[in-house]
Amino acid sequence: MSDALAAALQQLKSVFGYDHFRGQQAEIIGQLLAGGDALVLMPTGGGKSLCYQLPALLREGTAIVVSPLIALMQDQVSALQQLGVRAACLNSSLSADAAREAEQALLAGTIDLLYVAPERLLTGRFMDLLQRSRLALFAIDEAHCVSQWGHDFRPEYRELACLHERWPEVPRIALTATADAPTRQEIIEQLALQSARQYISSFDRPNIDYQIELKHDGRRQLLAYLREHTGECGIIYALSRKRVDETAALLQVEGFPALPYHAGLDAATRAQHQERFLREDGIIMVATIAFGMGIDKPDVRFVAHLDLPRSLEGYYQETGRAGRDGEPAQAWMLYGLADVVGQRRLIDGSESGEARKRIERSKLDALLGFCESLQCRRVSLLAYFGETYPGACGRCDNCRQPPQSWDATEAAQMALSCVWRTGQRFGVSHLIDVLLGKTSERVEQLGHDRLTTFGIGSALDAQRWRSVFRQLVASGYLCTDLEGYGGLRLSESARPLLRGEQPLRLRLDPPRQSRGRQRRTPSATAPIDLSTEQQRLFEALRAMRARLAGEQSVPAYVIFHDSTLREIALNPPASLGDLADISGVGSGKLERYGQAVLETLQDVL
């Protein structure tokens, strides 16, 4: 091991309280210490921050960390200060005095890390300040914000290449948890990282359990889900502001600690809700995708999707906010016919140009393929990011209850021909009425009871037909009408199916009743392996943590993570020396809280 890495390992233990580097951390840190650039693609919770925080401590001068999330900077700085690291931030929410103080510290070289918003960084005044300071490195966090196609696009990020032009000798590290190849390419080009070494980790999140449930009564299903997860901190994503407000209100009435979050709320309310989510235990945030980027709350136990996300990347990003601490967490999604038809229509009917629509369609196809897949969710999710996961994971719905498929060649033919004969303009409910031979007023009025397809589908029930139509739309054999009435028409790819030239197997949806009663995975929060005695200790330590956090008004997790408290409860240390051996207890934490931990233990034991 090189001297530089030995020094890094020593700091890892003494400052952060960890014994080993994770994944590629050591290589990345080595690269920066040697003065090279790095592009780091690592999943959420993989340990990206350490990759620049450690070099920031070891290299002379101050590390400049570009972060798009003003609201969260202070928490990041608080977390570092808790470790005894000299850090500050600079953004528009700071008072003039506080800003001046941070600038002085930068000039004097008395801080190791300075977090700064991109728009602040790019001002002439700040550039000038940098010119007069000693710089350890530039870290560009959430680097995918340069991507024009992504929903986190930040135009200022595109100007960050100027850092390299002005300070070519200062090493740069760009980091993101967004995995796809086009975004990666955009980052390299826009940030001039052509000569940077790339560090691409596996994107697997082994502690996340993936579950997709067919949607039939969303509200009831959500309530049932939450009742099995009481006390857990979670995020619920919904498509629209209205759905967010309605859902949050419903949950509040039902007694859950739920808060809404979307771009339609005023800034003060948003900030307050985010603050409560970060600081209090067990809050459920009901949100649009406006919420979440950079939320590094480690103990989010579940992420629920009430509606289809926009893409598989979106799904991965959003679910990735669960379980950053490495403890068991769940990604739960409701999915149904209306989602499929709605999303298809949204794209087809949008004002975007053809090129953009094509991209969006193929992204949606990938997502729908994932939802309808018969194989392990983890395998299909990682395959989308070009990764091969060996075998089946055992921690997803498809692994637990492998779905069956059935030969739907004939059924598909009937469904498609019914669409054709009714003139390609009716929605699923009407089509099913015709297939089942139901004589409604509408059917008679339209003369659809005289069609050859009238009643030919009576061997299957309505639920099965919905499943057939959902999968035909999901796989693109049927497309939605542009007028937005939910009518379906045949696509080019439907012809061979319609003529019976191509066999088709479909997923056999589980019957509803058994779904409802199906045993879910055990609740994730309560550490399973603690005895009653240890559980009491753990609760006492959590109460202590809440008190300490309250006194300093910082989030509880910057004091100690649950995993650290759990380890303490499992092996109660008798002395400060023993406590220092516990993962997550560095010298800063030991000095600040060591005594409080020992006293809490004495009180309970």
Among 9, 24, 31, 46, binds ligand ADP (CB under 6 A): 46
Q: Stretches 45-53, 268-276, 366-374, 467-475: which one binds ligand ADP (CB under 6 A)?
A: 45-53
Among 378, 466, 507, 545, binds Zn ion (CB under 5 A): 378
Tell me the backbone φ, ψ of residue 198, rounded to 5 degrees.
-100, 135
Per the DSSP assignment, residues forming a β-bridge with 66 are 116, 140
Q: Which of residues 545-574 bind ligand ADP (CB under 6 A)?
A: 561
DSSP state of 468: H
Q: Stretches 21-29, 158-166, 182-190, 264-272: which one binds ligand ADP (CB under 6 A)?
A: 21-29
Closest CA to 401 of 514, 305, 528, 525: 514
Do 302 and 329 meet the contact criterion of CB atoms below 8 Å apart? yes
Query: Does 47 interact with ligand ADP (rule: CB under 6 A)?
Result: yes
Closest separation in Å from C-beta 294 to ligand ADP:
9
- Report the partner that residue 393 touches, choosing among Zn ion, ligand ADP, none (CB closer than 5 to 8 A by kind): Zn ion
Considering the complex, state which of residue 50 and residue 73 has its C-beta at the smaller distance from ligand ADP.
50
Query: Does 113 interact with ligand ADP (rule: CB under 6 A)?
Result: no
Among 4, 18, 216, 523, binds ligand ADP (CB under 6 A): 18
Per the DSSP assignment, residues forming a β-bridge with 140 are 66, 174
- Report the partner that residue 296 touches, choosing among ligand ADP, Zn ion, none (CB closer than 5 to 8 A by kind): ligand ADP
Among 30, 38, 48, 378, binds ligand ADP (CB under 6 A): 48
Considering the complex, state which of residue 45 and residue 573 has its C-beta at the smaller distance from ligand ADP.
45
Q: x-or-dash pattern for Zn ion, window 398-427, by CB under 5 A? A: -x----------------------------
Query: Does 331 interact with Zn ion (rule: CB under 5 A)?
Result: no
Closest CA to 480 of 355, 357, 323, 320: 357
d(CA 471, CA 266): 40
Query: Does 205 interact with Zn ion (rule: CB under 5 A)?
Result: no
d(CA 361, CA 343): 9
Q: Stretches 93-101, 393-401, 408-416, 508-516: which one binds Zn ion (CB under 5 A)?
A: 393-401
Among 50, 69, 179, 396, binds Zn ion (CB under 5 A): 396
Q: Using CB atoms within 10 Å of the CB of residue 321, give its burial: 0 to 12 exposed, 13 to 18 middle, 19+ buried.
A: buried
Considering the complex, state which of residue 363 and residue 561 has its C-beta at the smaller distance from ligand ADP.
561
CA atoms within 13 A on the CB side of 322: 31
Considering the complex, state which of residue 380 and residue 453 has its C-beta at the smaller distance from Zn ion.
380
Counting every residue, how long is the chain?
605
Query: Does 45 interact with ligand ADP (rule: CB under 6 A)?
Result: yes
Helix axes 124-131, 96-108, angle to 10 degrees: 30
Do 40 and 55 meet the contact criterion of CB atoms below 8 Å apart? no
Four-residue CA torsion sign, 457, 518, 285, 237: negative
d(CA 158, CA 428): 46
* Interacting residue ranges for ligand ADP, rule: CB under 6 A: 18, 20-22, 25, 42, 44-50, 296, 298, 324-325, 561
* Interacting residue ranges for Zn ion, rule: CB under 5 A: 376, 378, 392-393, 396, 399
